[in-house]
């Protein structure tokens, strides 16, 4: 009996190895060369090609606008029998729900969304962890105590990041304020640069961002201010300004998803990995003084060990109301639907 | 020696077919060179690059027109182009240059959203709902075009500038609403209205790949064809377009015709916006149209304002858009290269048009002797 089992499993594995390559597609919201968000997802795609070789075929399309136009793209890949389709922007949610229902044989993975179907799962990273760490650096380095934050859309993902950053700032510098400007775009270098300049005009000496382009970094560099990036090491764009960035590392996670799909163990889970899972991390440049870098690294270790949560109470909101008392922290559900600012943020959620 | 550009006295009959065909062929040829260079850069081998270029061409030309999935995609891209193109033809026949198709499309979508989510939210019958929304969308497009119409009729303003500028105003209105008061309360702060209720959605076929708005566009084209060829309006509007002076002498009210032409033109585009909302979008968002209103100008023009030809040209342009998507999706072509291709096609088509209508004359006389 045991032998038959072994024989069958060997056969199955052989069959899986000889089967046609898994066709994987990625849909990006900005150009692959945006130097940020889409570039990092594309790194993840290249990681798949390196790891799986002939077992996968990958394709991608860049600059796909969010909204109904995206539907044709998802449909297009599903119609060609792509087995696994990654949509990497929040605004693809409606399209992915619709197309996943029409094509039950394909597997869909939506980054940063909250809706699932039988063959649509979601995935994201606990970016608030490295955001908090980058806030520590910002709080330690600002001199004017005005920190500018160029933010994309007032959705929970972005708000959560701003709050975590502000919590980090507050941790080392209770005087400093985080000023938020909304750009209402993920990728529009001109607009994002302008937004950063408006923050520099009101006295900010450090700029950070939740944007896909490095334009805010360049604005800081031009004015001799400091900057904290997002998505990737952006030092090439602002060599004298760039201090650090919360970064994405999608390779291992994409590998995990592909492996599950190949082995038939994929489920429509809602994956949310943190620093300890390797999906997100903090990148610190040489411009950060050793003392600050050491603090950041020890706090990072505390987060990995589960000893520290960026939203450990007490946490007050902008109205001064106590949101989390000493010893409390938000649940995942509360984090995922966050729609208020902590008390050292200046700006409105519109 | 001097070179003059002058209008050809006679334009050969066959040129209306030959010129577009040759122009497209030229555009494809130029694209081929760019593709070849691009693929050579990627593959580093000329014969492989040739093969890849050939494959890419095949993909771009066969998928949108000769594959059952591709044709549906093409038809769906065609619908908004056809609506706006048909609308524009109504004004262009009278040589009234409505450049505001994009804005009228947006206003139609805006009004449709207002109807579906607020004004008619208690209507439960899908048929009634869809009729009401269509009327509202057409009315909004018409009213949006009424502004330049009144300005042209009574203040003799230039409609090109006014209709063009109103596009931006319409887009900003939509942005204001979707980022502000109409933002979906359940949308977690993401800009965009709530989704349309089921009774405000057009019936779809083939796994949602096709909606019945296509048939509305076809019906409309037939009606317009009849109006242009067989009715008094069709004849009179042609006269106004060809010779306003003569029209005035024969008792046609230019003011009335100007206003009606622009308003109907806008109403058709507005209806297109409503159909696009009910058929595909189901939720008003920033960037509702990727420039359908502008592409439709070229569609109407290439079709020589013939409603049936507009359907055909809109179909071809829809296919071009779908084919471009395929190149991006399966050949990893950058978005910017796709924009270059679209530019090349338009450039060749408009250039071909100009060559057919005008000619260069080189005269041997010295410039001095002409004085």
pTM of the model: 0.85
pLDDT at B188: 76
pLDDT at B337: 84
Domain A128-248+280-346 CATH superfamily: Response regulator (3.40.50.2300)
Tens-digit pLDDT profile for residues B322-332:
988 898 899 88
From the list A96, A113, A67, A29, the residue with the least C-alpha distance to B174 is A67
Which residues of chain B lie closer than 8 angstroms to A30, CB-CB? none
Contact: B285, A59; criterion CB under 8 Å: no
pLDDT at B151: 96
From the list B249, B272, B218, the residue with the least C-alpha distance to B104 is B272
Strands A177-182 and B210-211: unpaired
Calpha distance B305→B299 (Å, rounded) = 9
Interface test with A, best of B62, B76, B80, B188 (most A CBs within 10 A): B188
What number of other Cβ atoms are within 10 A of residue B155's Cβ? 8
pLDDT at B366: 56
Per-residue pLDDT at B371 exceeds 50:
no
Contact: B283, A68; criterion CB under 8 Å: yes
What number of other Cβ atoms are within 10 A of residue B322's Cβ? 26
pLDDT at A84: 97
From the list B183, B188, B271, B184, the residue with the least C-alpha distance to B224 is B271
Neighbour-count burial of B291, counting CB atoms closer than 10 A to its CB (0-12 exposed, 13-18 middle, 19+ buried)? exposed
Interface test with B, best of A26, A32, A45, A68 (most B CBs within 10 A): A68
Contact: A77, B285; criterion CB under 8 Å: no
pLDDT at A8: 64
Calpha distance A207→A111 (Å, rounded) = 26
List, in sequence order, the alpha helices (H) in B277-306: 292-302
Calpha distance A106→A84 (Å, rounded) = 6
Neighbour-count burial of B280, counting CB atoms closer than 10 A to its CB (0-12 exposed, 13-18 middle, 19+ buried)? buried
pLDDT at A14: 57
Interface test with B, best of A25, A59, A61 (most B CBs within 10 A): A61
Contact: B190, A76; criterion CB under 8 Å: no
List, in sequence order, the alpha helices (H) in chain A: 2-18, 37-52, 69-79, 93-102, 128-141, 156-172, 189-201, 215-222, 251-263, 290-305, 332-336
pLDDT at B209: 80
Strands A22-27 and A56-61: parallel
Share of chain B above pLDDT 70, in %: 97
Give the residue from chain B lying closest to A63, CA to CA. B335
- Smallest Cα distance from A42 to chain B, Å: 12
pLDDT at B271: 98
Of B188, B190, B287, the CB nearest to A65: B287
Contact: A75, B326; criterion CB under 8 Å: no
- Smallest Cα distance from B95 to chain A, Å: 33
Query: What are the beta bridge partners of residue B363?
Result: B2
Per-residue pLDDT at B368 exceeds 60:
no
| Ranges of each domain in chain B | 80-309
The segment(s) of chain A belonging to CATH 3.40.50.2300 are 2-125, 128-248+280-346
Tens-digit pLDDT profile for residues A254-290:
999 999 999 999 999 999 999 999 999 999 999 999 9
Give the residue from chain B lying closest to A64, CA to CA. B335
In chain A, count H helices and then E strands. Answer: 11, 15
Contact: A72, B73; criterion CB under 8 Å: yes
Contact present, B283 and B196 (Cβ < 8 Å): yes
Per-residue pLDDT at B365 exceeds 70:
no
In 3-state terms, what secondary structure has residue A350? coil
Contact: B329, A77; criterion CB under 8 Å: yes
The CATH number of the structural domain formed by A2-125 is 3.40.50.2300
Interface test with B, best of A79, A115, A157 (most B CBs within 10 A): A79
- Compare B369 and B145 and report the one with higher pLDDT: B145
- Smallest Cα distance from B328 to chain A, Å: 6
- Smallest Cα distance from B334 to chain A, Å: 7
Tens-digit pLDDT profile for residues B73-119:
899 999 999 999 999 999 999 999 999 999 999 999 999 999 999 99
Tens-digit pLDDT profile for residues B304-348:
899 999 999 999 989 988 988 898 899 888 888 888 887 888 888
- Compare A10 and B363 and report the one with higher pLDDT: B363
Which residues, numbered 270 to 299 in chain B, qualify as contacts with chain A under a Cβ-Cβ cut-off of 8 Å? 280-283, 285-288, 290
Of A25, A68, A155, the CB nearest to B281: A68
Q: Looking at the complex, does the CB of residue B42 fall below 8 Å from at least one CB of chain A?
A: no
Question: HEC profile for A280-307?
Answer: EEEEECCCCCHHHHHHHHHHHHHHHHCC
Contact: A62, B283; criterion CB under 8 Å: no
- Smallest Cα distance from B306 to chain A, Å: 28
Tens-digit pLDDT profile for residues B143-192:
999 999 999 999 999 999 999 999 999 999 999 999 889 998 887 777 88
Contact: A68, B290; criterion CB under 8 Å: no
ipTM surpasses 0.90: no
Q: Looking at the complex, does the CB of residue B325 fall below 8 Å from at least one CB of chain A?
A: yes
Structure tokens belonging to residue B344: 């090349």
List, for chain A, all residue ranges whose pLDDT scores fall below the cut of 70.
1-19
In 3-state terms, what secondary structure has residue B6? strand
């Amino acid at each position: 009996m045991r032998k038959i089992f072994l024989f069958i499993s060997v056969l199955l594995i052989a069959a899986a190895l000889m089967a046609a390559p898994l066709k994987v597609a990625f849909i990006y919201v900005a150009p692959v060369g945006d130097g940020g968000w889409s570039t990092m997802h594309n790194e993840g795609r290249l990681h798949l090609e390196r790891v799986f070789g002939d077992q996968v075929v990958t394709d991608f399309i860049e600059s796909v606008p969010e909204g109904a136009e995206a539907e044709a793209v998802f449909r297009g890949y599903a119609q060609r029998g792509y087995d696994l389709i990654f949509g990497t922007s929040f605004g693809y949610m409606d399209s992915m729900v619709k197309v996943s229902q029409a094509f039950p044989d394909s597997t869909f993975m939506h980054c940063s969304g909250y809706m699932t179907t039988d063959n649509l799962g979601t995935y994201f990273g606990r970016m608030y962890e490295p955001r908090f760490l980058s806030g520590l650096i910002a709080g330690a380095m600002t001199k004017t105590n005005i920190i500018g934050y160029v933010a994309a859309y007032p959705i929970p993902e972005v708000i959560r990041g701003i709050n975590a950053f502000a919590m980090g700032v507050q941790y080392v510098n209770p005087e400093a304020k985080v000023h938020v400007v909304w750009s209402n775009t993920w990728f529009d270098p001109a607009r994002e640069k302008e937004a950063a300049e408006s923050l520099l005009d009101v006295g900010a000496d450090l700029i950070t961002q939740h944007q896909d382009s490095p334009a805010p970094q360049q604005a800081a560099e031009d004015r001799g201010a400091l900057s904290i990036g997002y998505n990737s090491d952006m030092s090439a764009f602002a060599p004298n300004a760039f201090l650090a960035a919360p970064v994405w590392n999608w390779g291992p996670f994409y590998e995990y998803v592909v492996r599950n799909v190949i082995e038939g163990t994929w489920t429509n889970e809602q994956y949310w990995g943190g620093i300890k899972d390797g999906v997100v991390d903090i990148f610190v440049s040489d411009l950060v003084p050793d003392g600050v870098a050491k603090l950041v690294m020890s706090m990072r270790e505390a987060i990995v060990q589960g000893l520290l949560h960026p939203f450990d109470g007490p946490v007050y909101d902008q109205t001064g109301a106590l949101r989390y008392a000493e010893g409390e922290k938000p649940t995942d559900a509360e984090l995922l639907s966050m729609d208020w600012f902590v008390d050292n943020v200046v700006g409105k959620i519109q | 020696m001097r070179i003059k550009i002058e209008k050809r006295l006679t334009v050969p009959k066959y040129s209306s077919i030959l010129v577009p065909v040759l122009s497209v062929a030229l555009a494809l040829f130029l694209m081929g060179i760019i593709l070849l260079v691009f693929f050579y850069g990627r593959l580093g081998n000329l014969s492989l690059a040739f093969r890849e270029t050939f494959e890419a061409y095949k993909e771009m030309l066969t998928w949108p027109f000769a594959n059952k999935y591709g044709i549906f995609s093409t038809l769906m891209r065609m619908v908004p182009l056809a609506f706006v193109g048909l609308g524009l033809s109504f004004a262009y026949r009278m040589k009234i240059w409505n450049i505001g198709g994009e804005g009228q499309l947006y206003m139609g979508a805006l009004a449709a959203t207002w109807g579906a989510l607020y004004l008619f939210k208690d209507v439960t019958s899908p048929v009634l709902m869809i009729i009401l929304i269509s009327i509202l969308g057409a009315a909004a497009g018409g009213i949006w075009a009424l502004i330049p119409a009144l300005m042209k009729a009574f203040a003799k303003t230039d409609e090109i500038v006014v209709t063009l500028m109103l596009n931006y105003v319409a887009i900003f209105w939509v942005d204001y609403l979707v980022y502000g008061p109409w933002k979906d309360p359940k949308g977690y702060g993401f800009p965009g209205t709530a989704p349309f209720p089921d009774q405000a959605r057009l019936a779809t076929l083939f796994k949602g790949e096709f909606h019945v708005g296509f048939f509305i566009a076809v019906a409309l084209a037939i009606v317009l064809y009849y109006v242009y060829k067989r009715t008094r309006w069709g004849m009179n509007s042609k006269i106004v377009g060809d010779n306003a002076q003569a029209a005035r002498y024969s008792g046609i009210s230019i003011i009335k015709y100007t206003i009606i032409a622009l308003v109907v033109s806008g109403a058709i585009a507005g209806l297109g916006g409503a159909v696009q909302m009910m058929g595909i979008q189901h939720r008003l968002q920033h960037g509702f149209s990727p420039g359908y209103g502008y592409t439709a100008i070229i569609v109407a023009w290439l079709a020589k304002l013939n409603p049936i030809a507009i359907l055909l040209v809109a179909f071809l342009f829809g296919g071009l858009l779908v084919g471009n998507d395929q190149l991006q999706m399966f050949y990893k072509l950058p978005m910017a290269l796709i924009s270059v291709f679209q530019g090349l096609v338009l450039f060749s088509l408009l250039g071909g048009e100009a060559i057919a209508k005008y000619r260069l004359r080189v005269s041997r006389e010295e410039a001095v002797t002409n004085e």
